[in-house]
Every structure is written in structure tokens, then in C-alpha cells.
Amino acid sequence: MGGTVRDINISQLGMLFRFYEALGFDRLAVDIPETVSNGGDCLHKEEGLKRLRAEIGDCRRCRLSEGRTNLVFGEGNPNAWLMFVGEAPGEQEDRQGRPFVGRAGELLTRLIEKMGFSREEVYIANTVKCRPPGNRNPMEDEIKTCMSFLEKQIGIIEPAVIMTLGSVATKALLGDIGSISRVRGKTFRYKGIPVVPTFHPSYLLRNPKSKWLTWNDAQVVLKLRES
């Protein structure tokens, strides 16, 4: 056939397996390159996220849907090593249907880039998917209603580390473990995944002198990658 398994894409590989199955082979030993297997894993996760978004649909499960313009599902690499979890969409996020695209989002993007990544390499989501009125904190029943979707996102992506942004996201994943100023920069666990809380970018806009604390927290995350 004049090629190697490295020249075969995922769909061709599936056709090849079905061909040998039709010939009566129930097992086929193939040395699949890591790049191919990783690509298949990413496609599987991407499809899982699409199914989850379809499950959410035009969500009317809580009062937050009443005032929203767009539902903000989340975005980034389905196979991300690092996942950021924020609080809720703001005004710009509600308009664009994307997480962290306002001033706080610009600050988060700079942090991500300073850590050596791009936004496309990580995954960004929020505790709730719709903007609370006046940018208030989401209420407990609203978080509870939406929490299963965040849990499913984490389950699909399987990040190596989660960085929670602010007290709302931290409490949603870890419970009431204390104020964000006390727990930031420490490593906790959510279903076995290391979680490092830090300040929400909107807090840093109001308190720019605390940016160095968030950068210290980012160093904790990067060290987890090395371990």
C-alpha cells in the first residue's frame, strides 16, 4: 500500500480495523503512534463536550436563564492539562457567549501566557453558565442546579490540575474550606485531581498589588506539572 500507520488518519484507521474484522480477525496487534492515540483521545473528549452542550440545550433550569443573552458553556482544549474554573459570566461574556473575555478575561489571558500556555491550550469554564443579574454572586441553589454540568466537563476533560478563580468556584468544588485569602496557593483535591485556588481576576483589577500572590499560586501549579 506504500505507507505506514503514521500516514493513516483516524477515519482510515477505523476502516482498516473493520476490513480485518470482516476477514475474521478478532484481534489486531498494531503499534499505534502516540500522536495518533492522543488525537483520538482528544476527538473523543471533543465529542463528549458537544454531547454535554446539547444536553444543556437552551437551559431554563434556574432563574438565571431569565435575564441572560447567551449561555456560556466554556472553551479551550478538550485534552487540556490545566483547567481554570471561574465564578460566572459577566456582561461581556454574556454578550459573546465565551468565558473570560472582558477586562478580567484579559488579565487571565496574560496570566495563562506568562505561565507558558495559550488560551487554546487550556480549558476555561465557570461554576454557572449564565450571568447573574448585576454580576452578583450566584446563589447556592443556582450553583447546585448547574454544578452537575461543571462536574461532567471536568470528567470529560480529565485535567491534571484545576485552578479555581475566587471563593465561589473554590467553595463549589471543595466545600467551605475557608476564605480565599487563607487557602489560595495551597493544593487540595477534587475527585483525585489537584486543585490550586487563587484570587479571581476581577479582584486583582481592584487590588493590583495582589497580582504577585496569584503569580506565586501559578508557580505551585507549574511545579505540579513537573512532579
Q: What pLDDT, in 10s, does the model give residues 79-100?
A: 999 999 999 999 999 999 999 9
Phi, psi torsion values for 84, nearest 5 degrees: -105, 135
Assign 38 a pLDDT band (cuts: 50, 70, 90): low
Sheet bearing 161-165, strands edge to edge: 75-76, 123-126, 82-86, 161-165, 193-198, 188-190
pLDDT above 70 (res 217): yes
C-alpha grid cell, residue 120: 487554546
Over residues 19-28, mean pLDDT = 48
- Which SS3 state, helix, strand or coil, does residue 50 take? helix
C-alpha grid cell, residue 4: 505506514
39-226 topology per CATH: Uracil-DNA Glycosylase, subunit E (3.40.470)
Give the dihedral sign, CA 148/152/155/160. negative
Over residues 107-123, mean pLDDT = 98
CA–CA dist 66, 130 (Å, integer): 9
Domain residue ranges in the chain:
39-226
CA–CA dist 174, 170 (Å, integer): 6
> Which DSSP letter does residue 71 get?
-
Q: Count of residues for the chain?
A: 227
What's the pTM value of the predicted model, to 2 decimals? 0.83
pLDDT above 80 (res 216): yes
List all residues 6 or more positions away from 66 whose beta carbon is below 8 Å from its beta carbon.
none
pLDDT above 70 (res 37): no
Phi, psi torsion values for 153, nearest 5 degrees: -60, -45
What is the per-residue pLDDT for 24? 55
CA–CA dist 55, 47 (Å, integer): 12
